[in-house]
Amino acid sequence: MADNMVKQMIDVMSKSGWRITEQRRMLAEIFSKSEGYLSPKDVYDQMSVSYPSVSFDTVYRNLRLLSEMGALEQFYFMDGGLKFRGSCSNHHHHHLICINCEKTLTFEYCPMEQKLELPGDFKIVNHRFEVYGICESCQQEAASAN
């Protein structure tokens, strides 16, 4: 699975015309080894161990570009700010995200499949749907603490 994610990310980079450097390969490996979400600082901290001269701006710019290419997904957490994770590129689905532990569950139902009455003859070309809440484990933990 991890090797597959590295390969997918490198393929996306190549198809977008990027030269595959050791730093970019390492970026793909960082996400393939991570179970959850990584902030730009998390990624920078890991990158700077092997590449002390890498700048935070370079890491951040690469994360945003990888997100635009579809290799990474970006999420905004109210308390944690912008975070990234490897893209789920094999099929269309949406996410339930715990605001406490960041556990993510996927669900196949797509609310965009319903007939929408959009103003101004608006044409949708892409969408994302995330629902933020508290997972069952965190609810049980909170209940037992009270």
CATH of the domain at 109: 3.30.1490.190
**CA-to-CA distance for 18 and 21, rounded, in angstroms?**
9
Residue-wise pLDDT for 81-107, tens only, equals 888 888 766 667 777 888 888 888 877
Say yes or no to pLDDT of 14 above 80.
yes
- How many residues belong to the chain? 146
Could you tell me the two tokens for 125? 């070309």
Average confidence (pLDDT) over 28-40: 88
Residue 91 annotated as binding?
A: no
| Higher pLDDT pick, 10 / 1 | 10
3-state secondary structure 64-96: HHHHHHCCEEEEEECCCEEEEEECCCCCCCEEE
Report the domain count for the chain: 2
Band (pLDDT 50/70/90 cuts) for residue 75 is confident
Residue 88 annotated as binding?
A: no
Could you tell me the two tokens for 41? 């600082």
Domain boundary among 86, 118, 133: 86
Amino acid sitting at position 17: G
pLDDT at 46: 95
Are residues 22 and 75 in contact, defined by beta-carbon separation less than 8 angstroms?
Answer: no
**CA-to-CA distance for 28 and 70, rounded, in angstroms?**
13
Q: Which residue segment(s) compose the domain that 102 sits in?
A: 94-145
Residue 141 annotated as binding?
A: no
Tell me the average pLDDT of the chain: 85
Q: Looking at the structure, do residues 108 and 132 belong to the same domain, yes or no?
A: yes
The residue with tokens 């700048």 is 55
DSSP summary character for residue 39: -
Count the neighbouring beta carbons within 10 Å of the beta carbon of residue 129: 13
Q: Looking at the structure, do residues 30 and 12 belong to the same domain, yes or no?
A: yes
Say yes or no to pLDDT of 52 above 60.
yes
Residue 127 annotated as binding?
A: yes
Average confidence (pLDDT) over 112-136: 80
Residue 101 annotated as binding?
A: yes
CATH of the domain at 27: 1.10.10.10
pTM here is 0.71
Residue 135 annotated as binding?
A: yes
Residue 98 annotated as binding?
A: yes
Q: Looking at the structure, do residues 79 and 119 belong to the same domain, yes or no?
A: no
Distances 141 to 95, 135, 138 between C-alpha atoms, Å: 22, 10, 5
Q: 3-state class of 132 per DSSP?
A: strand
